[in-house]
Structure 1
């Protein structure tokens, strides 16, 4: 069995790491970030003020590392928070909640005796690459079967699709697209039409196609 390749992440948009660790590691279908404290990468110094300000800096640091590894905070799947004082739980959550949309990642928060540099909060996380999160969906109009010109195909999906040699359409997925509203979705008939079209494409081309239907 071949050993998984580990790719280190390094970005100037987050504090430079000490020699005994990486800012993050990409391995397989995951991006793992080392714990971050509230250090401003521009100054190399700990952010002064409230724990909310340090939490904001930490999440900005983690965002930079994730993006350098091809992921983002919105694609985070697990977060671990370490507090020097559990009484700061609510203050940290106040900032934390503003950085994550639903569904929020799984999370653990624990109190510890001390943290690096004498700080009061440290956060680490792991996420999936954006390509993995989005590359299996292709927006297709349920009325015309065409990709709406108002929607730009994600570059990661385009590269993935173009890298696959095939003699005909090789779609990763079809999702209903309500042209009039300009949003994903559609009624039941639209979703059913999309599924039927997807099945026809798969049958005619001999290529297996995944179909992701919106629940509206």
Structure 2
């Protein structure tokens, strides 16, 4: 059975989903966007700032589930514009300095609320 994960340190879900679901061994996060926990949308910020905010949200959700960046096994990064890849990657690397997780990065047709990046993860709770 998977239990829902919720923290006030990341934005509330903007739809019918949980911030994450966790089993005894794994955490599956919802995609995190550059939305502050207070609801301030930062879609107009640089892709680096958007990436950092999305990852700050992701880390907050993981922490509540008993995991952290070092426990992340796989991320998926959705970009509104694949030309933002290098800038996103530079900010992303700040969060996974050693032994980064496996990752896919793709250009999406459109992202929620017009943001430039959305990031989801699977992490271990072992």
Gaps of 5+ in 1: 133-216
1:25 to 2:25 alignment? no
1:117 to 2:113 alignment? yes
Residue of structure 2 equivalent to 1:85: 81
Written as runs of structure 1 = structure 2, the 5 A alignment for 1:1-216 is 5-42=1-38, 44-47=39-42, 48-129=44-125, 132=126
Shift of 1:49: 2.0
After TM superposition, which residue ranges in structure 1, 4 or more long, deviate above 2 angstroms? Answer: none
TM-score, normalised to structure 2, is 0.95
Q: Deviations over 1:91-111 (max 9, x none)?
A: 000100011132110000001
Gaps of 5+ in 2: none
- Kindly indicate whether the alpha-carbon contact (under 8 Å) linking 1:74 and 1:101 is maintained by their aligned counterparts in 2: no
**How far, CA to CA, are the matches of 1:74 and 1:68 in structure 2?**
15
Q: Deviations over 1:101-149 (max 9, x none)?
A: 32110000001110000111110001011xx2xxxxxxxxxxxxxxxxx
TM-score, normalised to structure 1, is 0.56
**How far, CA to CA, are the matches of 1:11 and 1:39 in structure 2?**
14
**How far, CA to CA, are the matches of 1:55 and 1:11 in structure 2?**
19
Q: Which has the larger radius of gyration?
A: 1
Shift of the 126–37 alpha-carbon distance from structure 1 to 2, 3 Å rule, reads: same
